[in-house]
Amino acid sequence: MQACCFARSEGGSTKRRRAQVGTRVFVLVLATAMASGHACAQSLIDTLSQAYSYNPQLDAERARLRATDEDVARANSGYRPNVFGSADISRERTNISPNTGTNGSNTPKGYAVQLVQPVFRGFRTTNAVNAAEASVRAGREQLRLVEQDVLLSAVQAYGDVVRDQAIVRLRENNLKFLSTELQATRDRFAVGEVTRTDVAQAEARRSLAVSDLELAKANIKTSRGVYEQIVGNPPQRLVEAKPDTRLVPGSLDEAIGIGTQENPQIVGALYSEQASRFQVDQIRGELLPEAQLEATYSDRYDGSSQIDRVESASILGRLNVPIYPDGGEVYARVRQAKHTHVSLIQQIEQARSVVKADVIRNWSQLQAFKAQSVADRAQIDANQTALNGVREEEKVGQRTLLEVLNAQQELLLSQVQLETTKRNVLVASYAVVASIGRLSVSEVGAASNVYVPEAHLDEVRNKWWGLDITHDDGRSEHMDAWGARIEREPVK
């Protein structure tokens, strides 16, 4: 009462100021809520970007490729000299009878430095470098394959969460509908319009709806858990995503043509075969002559009681010609490498057949799911019309309550089926893109900064020494590969 009296005693200007302040606060709160809601909304592109940056499987493959890069540095070491140093010291006592003037004790000591520079190693170094670089290119294709698998898993997890969210909403609406029907049936039973059987049917159908809703809630918890495993954080207000038709080829023949040219399984198999071919030549080089230069410098002190110091230096050219090395083991390794090369040639053909089958399967599933989506929408329209008609007829006694409940159940099932089909269309679209080898963050525009594996290879290719994989400023070498900005490219 006091507050009311105080409000009436305020002047008009004070009221207007308070109203203006209240309006501003309301607008500010509303704007903040809308901004935070927008910030919490998460699109499929956001999910793919997060998975690309977080996923430990993808990060592990990047580290594995960086380890493969070091094979190039190891192979390049064959061009460089080997430098050895040695030093020794000892204590000697000489006693010759009759004494020749050399009797006594002395401490011989000295050091030596030797440099060995390979000149010709039967082309083994050249072939080793070529084989290592081919293996690195094959490793990059494996990284690209893992990236595709991770992104496709992220799409599947995203689609599962969106589907299960929609199903939970449908189940909740169905429970509300059945609860209303049950209450109406009980009211009608109280006035004698329906029988106890009708009430029991409504109760049973509502109990089923409660059970289905709990199962749907359990399913969405599972989907959210899988999503967090792949993406790295829980889903935040996911919005329904539509397939990126820009990435999907226009026909099956076009998809097969692109897949057999760009799929990382095929490209990686080609590079592996190339590396194997160089390895055959590398082993064969062990049967060729080898030439090297050897430079030695030594300095020795107190070699005897009569010699204080001996300093020497030499340069030697050495040529080794293998006649029957290692008891024929080299010949066996050459034959072994040739058989391995033949097997890798066959793996190329195997990869082509596997990729072609994957493209056909994913393309066929996509077309089937698209057709099913059209049919599902038509089924929903028909079931909605049927439900409306059955409810009106039930009011005038031409239909039973059970028929109304059945019509509602059929509508619900068709709505659930549509949500499942929309998820399947989304996943199948990206599965087609993955099978042709074009599912990457650069293609879908999911990241402004991408990992560039070439950066690490350039870092270590000609590295002569060093044990650390971090820079002096604490920056990891693999961080250098995250500096490239990309723009969303059109489909080739």
pLDDT in tens, 175-197: 999 999 999 999 989 998 888 99
Q: Rounded to whole angstroms, how far apart are CA atoms 59 and 230?
A: 12
Indicate the residue type of 254: E
Q: Rounded to whole angstroms, how far apart are CA atoms 235 and 223?
A: 10
> What pLDDT, on a 0 to 100 scale, did the predictor assign at position 17?
43
The residue assigned the tokens 């990060």 is 59
Tokens of 166: 């929609």
Tokens of 295: 């430079």
**pLDDT higher at 14 or 387:** 387
Range of lowest pLDDT (33-37, 249-253, 304-308, 420-424): 33-37
Range of lowest pLDDT (75-84, 196-205, 366-375, 452-461): 452-461
> What pLDDT, on a 0 to 100 scale, did the predictor assign at position 491?
35
Contact indicator for 51, 230 with CB cutoff of 8 Å: yes
**pLDDT higher at 92 or 435:** 435
For the chain, what percent of residues have pLDDT higher than 90? 67
The residue assigned the tokens 């094979």 is 71
Angstrom CA distances, 27 to 23, 30, 33, 38, 215, stand at: 6, 5, 10, 16, 40
Which residues, listed in sequence order, are joined to residue 295 by a DSSP beta bridge? 115, 315
CA 196, 198, 204, 210 dihedral sign is negative
Q: Rounded to whole angstroms, how far apart are CA atoms 451 and 150?
A: 15
Evaluate if residue 258 carries a pLDDT over 80.
Answer: yes
Q: Rounded to whole angstroms, how far apart are CA atoms 167 and 419?
A: 7
Binning pLDDT at 50, 70 and 90, where does residue 483 land? low
Per residue in 349-362, pLDDT (tens digit) is: 999 999 999 999 99
> What pLDDT, on a 0 to 100 scale, did the predictor assign at position 95?
75
Binning pLDDT at 50, 70 and 90, where does residue 375 land? very high
Binning pLDDT at 50, 70 and 90, where does residue 244 land? confident
DSSP line for 258-283: HHHHH-HHHHHHHHHHHHHHHHHHHH
Mean residue pLDDT across the chain: 86
Evaluate if residue 15 carries a pLDDT over 50.
Answer: no
Mean pLDDT across 322-331: 92
3-state secondary structure of 121: coil
**pLDDT higher at 448 or 23:** 448
> What pLDDT, on a 0 to 100 scale, did the predictor assign at position 435?
95
The verdict on whether omega for the bond into residue 56 sits within 30 degrees of 0, i.e. cis, is: no
Q: Rounded to whole angstroms, how far apart are CA atoms 153 and 156?
A: 5
Q: Rounded to whole angstroms, how far apart are CA atoms 259 and 434?
A: 9
Chain center to CA of 358: 19
Binning pLDDT at 50, 70 and 90, where does residue 33 land? very low
Q: Rounded to whole angstroms, how far apart are CA atoms 114 and 84?
A: 5
Phi, psi of 303 (to 5 degrees): -65, -30
Highest mean pLDDT among 11-15, 28-32, 198-202, 245-249: 198-202
Strand order in the sheet with 109-120: 82-89, 109-120, 290-304, 307-320
**pLDDT higher at 472 or 408:** 408
Highest mean pLDDT among 19-33, 239-253, 324-338, 448-462: 324-338
CA 89, 93, 96, 99 dihedral sign is positive
Indicate the residue type of 284: R
Selection from 334, 401, 418, 330 nearest residue 178 by Cα? 401
Total Cβ atoms within 10 A of residue 88 = 10
**pLDDT higher at 233 or 447:** 233
Per residue in 123-179, pLDDT (tens digit) is: 999 999 999 999 999 999 999 999 999 999 999 999 999 999 999 999 999 999 999
3-state secondary structure of 80: coil
Binning pLDDT at 50, 70 and 90, where does residue 201 land? very high
Q: Rounded to whole angstroms, how far apart are CA atoms 182 and 406?
A: 14
Binning pLDDT at 50, 70 and 90, where does residue 101 land? low
Range of lowest pLDDT (31-40, 46-55, 129-138): 31-40
Binning pLDDT at 50, 70 and 90, where does residue 22 land? very low
In sequence order, which residues have a C-beta less than 8 Å from that of residue 150 and are 6 or more positions away?
51, 52, 55, 57, 58, 230
Mean pLDDT across 291-296: 96
Mean pLDDT across 264-288: 95
> What pLDDT, on a 0 to 100 scale, did the predictor assign at position 475?
55
Per CATH, the number for 56-79+138-287+345-485 is: 1.20.1600.10
**pTM exceeding 0.85:** no
Per residue in 407-446, pLDDT (tens digit) is: 999 999 999 999 999 999 999 999 999 999 999 988 888 7
Give me the numbers of helices (H) and strands (E) for the chain, helices first please: 12, 8
Selection from 296, 368, 291 nearest residue 119 by Cα? 291
Q: What angle do CA 314, 319, 320 make, to 5 degrees?
A: 125
Binning pLDDT at 50, 70 and 90, where does residue 474 land? low
